[in-house]
Structure 1
Amino acid sequence: MRTLRRIAPALLLLFLSPLVAEFLLGDIPVTKVAFLLFFLPMYGCGAILVREIVRRTGRGWPTMLVAALAYGVLEEGIVTMSLFNPHYAGEHLLAYGLIPAIGMSPVWTIYVLSLHVVWSIGTPIAMAEAVAGDRRTTPWLGKVGVSVVAAFFVVGVVVTTASQLATEKFVAAPGQLIGAAVAFVVLIVLAVFLRPVAASRTGNAPSPWLVGVAGTAFALVFQLFDRYGQAVLPAWLTTVAQVLLWAGFLTIAAIWSARGGWDGRHVLALATGAILNYGWIGVLRVATGGVIKPLQVTPADLVGQVILVLLMLAVIAWGFRRQAAARELVAA
């Protein structure tokens, strides 16, 4: 029982990552929850590995985000190769902003890698750490546990790659795969050398409510660029807007998080904004039948999607209560 209690946050993260990444977004209807078993090894174990390695080495969120970006490059550049496949999942994801010389679209590259950094990895980790209470920044697994998770992650990478090759019938050019591999290694090296941000002696962190509003606004604008930018903006302008949006958000987050009083409530507030945005997109996609092909939507799927959003909000509320209790414990 003691062991189960110790690893409980990791088990929560194991399920949160694929649920947010694929189901909350509306890619897969909730009624097809059996697909979750396919996603657990790569998404869930990948998120746990990122989190455990970062926390076991005493690093913070800058390292976490870089490691999450490395995960995104691995999945989209090497495993699924969606960064280079012009007809991935039966869509034309590279048509908007395609650069023929490299066979990539910067719009799609920035967008899909951002999905992994913010939603597939970052947000589930923030939620699970908040629920962990006073164990928010401590390791949850021992060496054996991390080794088991790493083994399942490798299995997930192999199985997902084989599945993609069988279904997509696409293999990226050698230069593209080499470039993705180099980017992955560079990001891992960068993550290794990043150090925690020292707290500032001037100023206090803003209210978690303000942080949550800022995070919600960032996620909303980012998603609106994806949904409607192509209809009204040239691809180069959308790319510039994506870069500026990220630069602005990271600058503000870096300033705020270095101030005194920044804690798990603020990180969870940012995650709340991410969940709210995925929530409305997922409900809209299911309501309009926009799930991945060839899956079909039933009336029960829309109900299930709403229930999933409410479930995610319940986890967030639980996390805020746990963080409040942790603060009271420290104050006492």
Structure 2
Amino acid sequence: MKARSSTPDRGRLRAAWTLVLLTVCCAELSFTAVAVPKTWLLLPLLLVMYGAGVLLIREAAVRVGAGWPSLVLLGVAYELAEDGIGLQALTSPEMYGAADWGWRLGGANLTYWASQLGVHVVFSVLVPILLIGLIFPSHRGRPFLRRGGLIVVGVLAVLGVVGLRVVISSILDPGYRAPLPWIVAFVVAIAVLAWIALRVVPRVPVPAPTTLAPRPVVVGLTAAAATYVFLLLTLPLALRPGSDPLLGEIVPAPVPIVLAAAVAYGIGWTIRRWSVAPTWSDQHWIWMVGGILVAHTAFMMPASWVAMGIGSVTITVEVALLVLLARRVGSS
């Protein structure tokens, strides 16, 4: 009995560090850095901000037995901390030119907000945590950190938010301070979302399977299409300066957000329904992740010829690593 329990414990820190690296790779290095290679210069800050933040989310969820719906809510809280309090981009009229992307109401960049909700919930939180469970199957549902490590990670996550404020916000939008009522609202919303995610949602029963899952390739193509359409509706293609998201000046500003929300809800509901089917397997998860990652990298490739080259290499690496993971999962 002791030997069995010590084996997972022995690899827990390796799993934790892998999650830190995966989070940065999925959220930035295979996405924004494709169009904006200078993103690599921020790697130390990104490791603290993304790595510590998502590791903290994963540890908190595991400790209460929370599942994917709770991780979604914690991802929303994470986005508010990063973009609302750290970068202040949710309210800034200047940063990234986000105020011109679409709907700005009450001093908030709602189109930018919608885009970052999708980006951070999926690319920063769900995909890395899903991958870490596939790479380290013996650690699924197990904490990586002890209490002391959890406290350190929590402190680092806070420092990551402070670092965004000091390093990035002060350079890209010097002198801007988010209105105090918005900061208070973000803090309250983060606390409420965390409480619901960790205290209420884990008690909600998982729905019974009602359908058979399609083939993994269908899951991958569906995830890729949904990812690309969501990004087109909420972000300028490849983050080109001066451009707008799809339908930006053709329809009223709220319409793309509503359509993007429909896409997000539709794919989320579909995947959740498929994933409880008896025919769903780890291969389905790998194809789903592959579709998401390839689509989000491809979205950034039209930025320039350099981005085309970087994106092509990035997609090749993504596919190669996922093929290796699929073989490993299939042989286990």
TM class by smaller structure: 0.7 to 0.9
> 8 Å contact 2:91–2:178 — kept in the other structure?
yes
Work out which of the residue numbers 98, 120, 124 in structure 2 matches 1:120. Answer: 124
> Is residue 2:71 matched to residue 1:64?
yes
| SS of structure 2 residue aligned to 1:223 | helix
- The Cα of 1:138 is off from its aligned counterpart by 2.9
- The Cα of 1:116 is off from its aligned counterpart by 0.5
1:283-327 deviation digits (Å, cap 9, x = unpaired): 32253xxxxxxxxxxx5x75444333322223322332333234x
Query: Aligned partner of 1:39: which letter?
Result: L
Alignment match, 2:90: 83
CA spacing shift, 1:67–1:24, aligned 2, 3 Å = same
> 8 Å contact 1:130–1:265 — kept in the other structure?
no
> 8 Å contact 2:228–2:296 — kept in the other structure?
no
Alignment match, 2:228: 220
Runs of 4+ in 1 over 6 A off after TM superposition: none
Give aligned pairs, total. 311
Q: Which runs of 5+ in 2 are unaligned?
A: 1-6, 235-244
Work out which of the residue numbers 18, 22, 28 in structure 1 matches 2:28. Answer: 22
1:200-258 deviation digits (Å, cap 9, x = unpaired): 25543333222222211110211222342214332121122122222222222232223
> 8 Å contact 1:63–1:194 — kept in the other structure?
yes
Query: Aligned partner of 2:288: which letter?
Result: L
> 8 Å contact 1:21–1:119 — kept in the other structure?
yes
| SS of structure 2 residue aligned to 1:309 | helix
> 8 Å contact 1:77–1:177 — kept in the other structure?
yes
- The Cα of 1:67 is off from its aligned counterpart by 0.8
Alignment match, 1:242: 260
How many angstroms apart in 1 are the aligned matches of 2:302 and 2:10? Answer: 37
Query: Aligned partner of 2:312: which letter?
Result: V
- The Cα of 1:4 is off from its aligned counterpart by 6.6
What is the aligned-residue RMSD (CA, Å)?
2.6
Query: Aligned partner of 1:313: which letter?
Result: V
Alignment match, 1:41: 48
| SS of structure 1 residue aligned to 2:213 | coil
Alignment match, 1:291: none
- The Cα of 1:197 is off from its aligned counterpart by 4.5
How many angstroms apart in 2 are the aligned matches of 1:305 and 1:244? Answer: 28
CA spacing shift, 1:33–1:244, aligned 2, 3 Å = closer
Q: Which runs of 5+ in 1 are unaligned?
A: 288-298, 327-332
| SS of structure 1 residue aligned to 2:59 | helix
Alignment match, 1:323: 329
Query: Aligned partner of 2:324: which letter?
Result: W
> 8 Å contact 1:131–1:318 — kept in the other structure?
no
| SS of structure 2 residue aligned to 1:182 | helix
Alignment match, 1:154: 158
1:5-59 deviation digits (Å, cap 9, x = unpaired): 3322221221121222222123465576342112101101111111222123222
> Is residue 2:276 matched to residue 1:276?
no
How many angstroms apart in 1 are the aligned matches of 2:107 and 2:227? Answer: 27
CA spacing shift, 1:165–1:304, aligned 2, 3 Å = closer
How many angstroms apart in 2 are the aligned matches of 1:110 and 1:32? Answer: 22
Alignment match, 1:98: 104
Query: Aligned partner of 1:153: which letter?
Result: A
Query: Aligned partner of 2:214: which letter?
Result: P
> Percent identity at matched positions?
24
> 8 Å contact 2:103–2:111 — kept in the other structure?
yes
Output aligned runs, 1:270-309, within 5 Å: 270-287=288-305, 303-309=309-315
Compute the TM-score of the two structures, normalised by the length of structure 2: 0.83
> Is residue 2:147 matched to residue 1:143?
yes
| SS of structure 2 residue aligned to 1:96 | coil
Compute the TM-score of the two structures, normalised by the length of structure 1: 0.83
Work out which of the residue numbers 280, 286, 297 in structure 2 matches 1:262. Answer: 280
CA spacing shift, 1:319–1:199, aligned 2, 3 Å = farther
Output aligned runs, 1:157-236, within 5 Å: 157-167=161-171, 168-169=173-174, 170-192=176-198, 193-195=200-202, 197-198=205-206, 200=208, 202-226=210-234, 227-236=245-254
How many angstroms apart in 2 are the aligned matches of 1:146 and 1:233? Answer: 47
> 8 Å contact 1:97–1:236 — kept in the other structure?
yes
CA spacing shift, 1:201–1:280, aligned 2, 3 Å = closer
- The Cα of 1:159 is off from its aligned counterpart by 1.8
